[in-house]
Amino acid sequence: MTVPNTPSMRVGISAVSTAVIYRFTRISNNSIGITARARNGDIALTIIAKRTAEAQANFDELTVLRATNLADYPTEAGGNPAVSHRYALEVCELHHKRYAEMGFPVKSPSPGIQV
Determine phi and psi for 40, rounding to 5 degrees. -65, -40
* pLDDT-based confidence at residue 36 (cuts at 50, 70, 90): low
**Between 32 and 24, whose confidence is greater?**
32
pLDDT, tens digit, 9 for 90 and up, residues 38-60 = 566 789 899 999 999 999 999 99
pLDDT at 67 over 60: yes
| Alpha-carbon span 67 to 32, nearest angstrom | 53
Is a pLDDT exceeding 80 seen at residue 80?
yes
Q: Is the pLDDT of residue 21 over 70?
A: no
- Of the chain, the percentage scoring pLDDT greater than 90 comes to 49
